[in-house]
Structure 1
Amino acid sequence: MTKHEQLMAEYDNLYIEERPMKNDGLYADGCIWINKNMPSVKRYSILAEEIGHYETSSGDILDQNNISNRKQELLARKWAYEKIVPIEYIHFAISDGHTEIWDMADYLDIDEEFLRDALKYYRILDV
């Protein structure tokens, strides 16, 4: 079972569907839709973020001009970072000699952009 499948199984109370979409993902009222036309590592990170919305967000936050909505978006992303790439995983990767971002992302089986954002969140990467 892949990490993506494990995360889906952990949240089997949610309706999760992968389908062609314009957006990467969307959460509403216990339902998550993920764009199936992405690499699996990206679908995994998007799934984590959408579950983060389930865990942390309330109401319609699609209007990102609203500061409260932007805060909820950030909170869901932080939840996703801590869920699928906790700082301990980063320490393990570094201890095993995976210090380049592309290599670390491959080692952790996550999207490189998601890893880069997580490293910024943990204040490990300053760029």
Structure 2
Amino acid sequence: MNKLEQLEQEAFENAVKVHNYYLGEENLKGIYIDGNIAINTSVDNGAEKACVLAEELGHYHTTVGDITDLSDSQNRKQERQARLWGYNKLIGLTGLISAFHAGCHSRHETAEYLGVTEQFLQECIDCYTEKYGEYAKIDNYIIFFIPNLAVMEEV
């Protein structure tokens, strides 16, 4: 089962319906409303669809109320929380370590290995940089976010 199928299964298990629907503009990729996720029909590849679905499931799990007004700081915080949920679901620190062990040497290879878009991977790295700083330690690994994504194993 690929990541998109896993997310669709999770949505199903949580009674969240996923619809392919034209949302009126190309820039709006997805939206979550009351147990329904609409993914724009302009999203036409599996990796991008998985990224959109992960964020919208993040809204299902973390968002309370209508947060469409992003001039409100509380709404921006909830938007960030939903995105972080999606990043952790599809990538996570352990996913970056797994990509390292798989021999991924570039962002393109890492994104492909993880089944996400390069843009989603970059946004994840940016978010992790805000959260952890220049690097994060997990078990005997150091994951550097700045200046470039890199993983080192401590011996």
TM-score of the pair, normalised by structure 2:
0.76
Aligned with residue 35 of structure 2, among 30, 40, 46: 30
**SS of residue paired to 1:42:** helix
State whether structure 2 residue 90 is matched by structure 1 residue 64.
no
**SS of residue paired to 1:61:** coil
The structure having more radius of gyration, on CA atoms, is 2
For 2:132, the equivalent position in structure 1 comes to none
For 1:6, the equivalent position in structure 2 comes to 6
CA displacement at 1:2 relative to structure 2: 2.9
> 2:80 corresponds to which letter in structure 1?
L
State whether structure 2 residue 130 is matched by structure 1 residue 125.
no
**SS of residue paired to 2:69:** coil
CA displacement at 1:29 relative to structure 2: 0.7
Q: Unaligned 5+ residue runs, structure 1?
A: none
> 1:53 corresponds to which letter in structure 2?
H
CA displacement at 1:113 relative to structure 2: 0.7
> 1:113 corresponds to which letter in structure 2?
Q
CA displacement at 1:10 relative to structure 2: 1.4
Deviations along 1:62-94, one digit per CA (max 9) or x if unpaired, are 011111100000000011111111211111111
Provide the C-alpha distance between the structure 1 equivalents of 2:126 and 2:77, rounded to a whole number of angstroms. Answer: 17
For 2:106, the equivalent position in structure 1 comes to 100
TM-score of the pair, normalised by structure 1:
0.92
Q: Unaligned 5+ residue runs, structure 2?
A: 130-143, 148-155
Provide the C-alpha distance between the structure 2 equivalents of 1:100 and 1:84, rounded to a whole number of angstroms. Answer: 18
Displaced runs of 4 or more, over 3 A? none
For 2:91, the equivalent position in structure 1 comes to 85
**SS of residue paired to 2:19:** strand
Q: Say how many residue pairs are matched.
A: 127
CA displacement at 1:36 relative to structure 2: 2.6
Greater percentage in helix: 1
CA displacement at 1:51 relative to structure 2: 0.5
Greater percentage in strand: 2
